[in-house]
Amino acid sequence: MAETTRPTAVVLGAGPGLGMSVAHRFGRAGYDVALVSRTDTRHSRYLASLADAGITAEAFVGDVRTGVLATLDAITERFGTIDFVYYGPASTDPDNLPGPITEADSAAVERAMSWVYPAVDVVGRVLPGMRERGRGGLLFAGGLSSVRPMPALGALAVSAAALRNYAVTLHAGLDGTGVYAGSLTIGGVIERGDVHRLVASQPAEFGDLAGRTLDPDVIADAAWRMYSESREPEGVFSVFD
């Protein structure tokens, strides 16, 4: 097992938008970074970006829906400890959105929950070590439909609400342990991300993005403050009134 003198931040669901902003923000704070995404297609670009910023990082292939615990074990073997986890895998593919809530059945809800159950498994893997050391953090990214009725998102609203509730309840349960948990609730298209690229490429279908985007660097800065100050259980970032 490799041992480092720096803490390690794991970015689950590393993408060009918020995932990489979180990686850079925690890297600037002195963390080594482990990136996890479903394929290695963009890993070399991500790692070069972090290396240019003087951040030690390594990339791993892993998919929360098919099992990511072995990937977490590999990260622990590489870095020694996991001190922070950002849980931000996509809840669904942009071109495979569910039907409206009036058409959702139990099978649709079960499919939507496929990105929530692994969050519990991830916590089960990393939390014991964090509690033993008396420090650490877990942040879960989800959608605004968890707190605002958005019928068009259908079953995703159910899973988003479940993940948010899990995060804020975990925050309460960890009070006084030195370990932080929280939720990033996001309403809007995140700049530089895959959804942003898709929506921007089809203005006739999705309309003008002006005023409807969120800066991932701003959210990542807020994520760092939430974790480092260990107070607020939730940050809400929305372009909607």
pLDDT in tens, 83-120: 999 999 876 665 566 788 999 899 989 988 988 999 99
Query: What phi, psi does 229 have (nearest 5°)?
Result: -90, -20
- Of 11-15, 31-35, 164-168, the range with the lowest mean pLDDT is 11-15
Q: What is the mean pLDDT of residues 191-202?
A: 59
- Of 18-27, 41-50, 147-156, the range with the lowest mean pLDDT is 147-156
**CATH assignment at residue 142:** 3.40.50.720
What tokens does 106 get? 């139990």
Tell me the pLDDT of the chain averaged across its residues.
88
What tokens does 235 get? 């940050």
Choose between 54 and 98: higher pLDDT: 54
What confidence score (pLDDT) does residue 212 get? 72
Residue 239 lies in a domain: no
Residue 1 lies in a domain: no
Q: What is the pTM of this model?
A: 0.90
Q: Are 83 and 7 in contact (CB under 8 A)?
A: yes
Query: What phi, psi does 22 have (nearest 5°)?
Result: -65, -45
Residue 230 lies in a domain: yes
Residue 173 lies in a domain: yes
- Could you give the CA distance from residue 161 to residue 107 in angstroms, rounded to a whole number? 17
Range of the structural domain that residue 199 is part of = 8-234
Percent of the chain at pLDDT > 70 equals: 87
Q: Are 212 and 189 in contact (CB under 8 A)?
A: yes
- pLDDT over threshold 90, residue 238: no
- Could you give the CA distance from residue 110 to residue 228 in angstroms, rounded to a whole number? 34
Q: How many domains does the structure of the chain reveal?
A: 1
- pLDDT over threshold 80, residue 181: yes
Residue 241 lies in a domain: no
Percent of the chain at pLDDT > 90 equals: 63
- Could you give the CA distance from residue 226 to residue 184 in angstroms, rounded to a whole number? 10
What confidence score (pLDDT) does residue 169 get? 98
Residue 103 lies in a domain: yes
What confidence score (pLDDT) does residue 196 get? 47
Which residues of the chain form beta strands (DSSP E)? Answer: 8-12, 32-37, 57-61, 84-87, 136-143, 179-187, 189-190, 213-214, 234-238
Q: Are 237 and 187 in contact (CB under 8 A)?
A: yes
Residue 2 lies in a domain: no
Residue 133 lies in a domain: yes
CA dihedral over 76, 77, 81, 86, signed as positive or negative: negative
